[in-house]
A and B are shown apart, each in its own frame.
Chain A
Amino acid sequence: MTRALRDIQTEAGETTAPRPRRTRRRARGVDPIPWWLTAIVILVGLYFILPTLIVIPMSFSSASTFQFPPKGFSLKLYENFFTNPVWLTSLRNSVLVAVLSATLATVVGTAAALGLHNLTGRLARFARTVLMISIVTPAIVIAVAVYISFLKWQLVGTITGYVLAHAAIAVPFVLVSVTSALGGFDPKLLRASASLGAPPHRTLLRVTMPLISRGIITGAIFAFVTSFDEVVIALFLRSPLFQTLPVQMYNSVTVEIDPTIAASSSLVVTAVTIICLVLQFVGSRGKTR
C-alpha cells in the first residue's frame, strides 16, 4: 500500500524528487516489478534452501528411520554421533586432512597468485588456465584417474594421498581469492615502500601480505571447506583404515541406513554456514573501510 502510494507520488513528482534517490525511484515507478516475478523468485529461493530446511529438523528425530516429518523430538542422533567411534574417527580424519590440505593449498596458491600478479600475455593466461583446470574437470574423472595412479604409487588410503589430492583441487579457490585481493591493491604503495629503503622481501612481508591477508584467509577457509566436504575423490581413496566424514555419511545412507547422518549433516551445515557468515561479515567490513 505505502509502496504503491510512493510510486504514484514519484511518478507524478518525478522532476521534483530529491536528487540522490531520484534514479532508483523513477526506475520503480515507470517500470514496476510484476507480482508474479516476485512470486517465482520466492519459490526459487525456497528451492535453494529446501535441503537445509529439511536436514535440521531431521537431526532431532527420535525415530531410527529416515522418516520426515520426524515423529518425536530427541537428541539421540547427536548422542550417537558423539559416542560412536566410527563417526568420531571419520570426523577427526576429515579435520586433519582439511587442515593439512588447506595449509598446503594456501601456501602454494598464494605464491602462485603473487607470481601471476601483473603478468600479462599468452603465457600468463595459459598458466592461470592450468592452475584453474580442476574447477571445470568433472570430479569423477579426476577421482578415477587419481585412484588408478595412486594405486601404483601406493597412496590410496593414506593421509598423504588425501592431502595431496584435496590440496590440488583447492588451489584454484585460493588463487581466485588472493588474486581478487591483489586486484584492489595500490601498486604505489610498493614504490613508496621501496623509496623508503625497504628491500623487496620486506615490502612483501610488511606491506603486501597484511593488505592481502583477508584474501589469503578467505582462500584458506574455502580450501578447508572444499577438502572437508569433498566426497567423490575420497570415496575412491578410502580404505578400511582411513575414511573421511563425507564417506562415512555416504556409507550411512547406502549400506547402514543409519539416521545419525542427520546429526552429522546438521553439524556440518551449521559449521559451514557460520564460517561463511563470518567471511561475509569480514568481507563487508573490509569494503566499507
Chain B
Amino acid sequence: MPGPARRRTPSPQWLLLVPAFALITVILLVPLGQSLVRSAGSPDWTIQHYQTLFTDGVTLRVLARTAMTAAMVTVIAFLLGYPYAYLMTRVGPRLRGVLLVIVLIPFWTSVMARNFAWIIILQRNGPVHSFLEQFGLDIVLYGTVGGVTIAMSQVLLPFMVLPLFSALSGIDRRLLLAARGLGSHPLRAFWKVYWPLSRGGVVAGLILVFTLSLGFYVTPALLGSPQQSLVAQLLGQRTTQLLDFAGASALGMLVLVVTLVLVAWANRLGGTISAIGVVAATRTKDQP
C-alpha cells in the first residue's frame, strides 16, 4: 500500500489522516456545505426556502407520511428484533454464529435484488396476494405504503438486532435467577429486572431504525406510489425533475439535521455507530 509506506520517520502520525480527510472533505463536506449555502443564500440570505417547506402544503404531508412509515417500520423491527436478539444471547456459540450470519444476510443481499424480490412477492397475483385471496381478501400491497413498510423492515431489522444483541448480552442472567429464587413469576422477573436493564439498547435500536428509514429512496420509489411519496422521493423529484435546487437543498438539510441529531442521541445511549460499526466489526462479536 503506497499511502502508509510513504510515511517519513519524523512526521507526526496524524499526517496519515490527510488523504482520507481530503477525500471526505471534497466529496462529502463541500457538497453538503454548498447545499447549506444554496438553501439559505440564493440569491440573498433568506429563510424563504425553509419557510416554503412548511407552507406549500405538500412537503408537510409528505414529511408526516414519512414519519408515520418510519414509526411503523420501527415498531415492526422492534417486535421481531427483540425476541431474535434475546434468543441469540441464550444459545451456544455455534448456533449464535448461524443466527448472526442470518442477521447479516439483508446486508449482503444486493439492494436491487432485494427490492426486485419484494416487487415479486407483493405484486398482484404474487405469493402474498394469492395467499390472502384464499381468505377472500383482495389486498395488493405493491404500490402502497404498507408494502414499503414490510420491505423496509426487512432491511432495517439488523440495525435493531445488532445493538439489542450487544445490550442484551451484557445483562447478567443471574439477576433473573435471583428474582425467580425470591419467588417471582418468570414474566414478572423479566418485566421488573431484565427489561429495565435492556432499555438502553432498545432505545438505541429504535432511534437508529427510525432515523435510517427517513432516508430510504429506492424502496419507496420502486414499491410505493408517486401519489404516496416519501421524503426521499420528493427530494429526488425536486432535484432532477423540477430543478428546484434551492428548495431541494433546504429539504435535504432538514432531513440531514433531523437524522444527525437522532443518531447522535442513539449513539450516546448505546454506542450504536460502533455497534453497527458495520458488518466488519460484528464478525468479531460472535464470541463476546
Contacts and interface: CB of A to CB of B under 8 A. Distances in A.
Are A and B co-members of a single complex?
yes
B80 A47 contact: yes
Interface string A219-252: 1001001000111100110000000001001100
Contacts of A141: 32, 215, 235, 252, 255-256, 259
A148 B248 CA distance: 10
Given A130-B21, A164-B23, A222-B278, A231 B111 contact: yes
Contacts of B221: 254
Interface stretch (B44-52, B83-91, B133-141, B162-170): B83-91
Contact of B249 (A27, A133, A145, A167): A145
Contacts of A230: 111
Given A48-B102, A50-B121, A199-B9, A142 B113 contact: no
Interface residues of B, number: 102
A246 B110 contact: yes
B53 interface: no
Given A138-B259, A173-B280, A180-B284, A41 B215 contact: no
Nearest to B155: A51
Contact of B239 (A44, A47, A147): A147
Contact of B215 (A66, A130, A138, A169): A138
A24 B92 contact: yes
A55 B106 CA distance: 13
Given A116-B17, A130-B24, A139 B112 contact: no
A49 interface: yes
Interface string A162-179: 001101110111011100
Contacts of B255: 138, 140-141
B23 A104 contact: yes
Given A109-B20, A171-B24, A236 B240 contact: yes
B34 interface: yes
A246 B30 contact: no
B112 A140 contact: no
Contacts of A44: 80-81, 83-84, 157
A261 B23 contact: no
A262 B116 CA distance: 8
B80 A148 contact: no
Interface in B249-267: 249, 252, 255-256, 259-260, 263
Given A141-B255, A253-B222, 12 more contacts: A37-B83, A47-B157, A48-B103, A135-B276, A138-B214, A138-B216, A140-B232, A141-B215, A144-B236, A146-B31, A215-B280, A250-B218
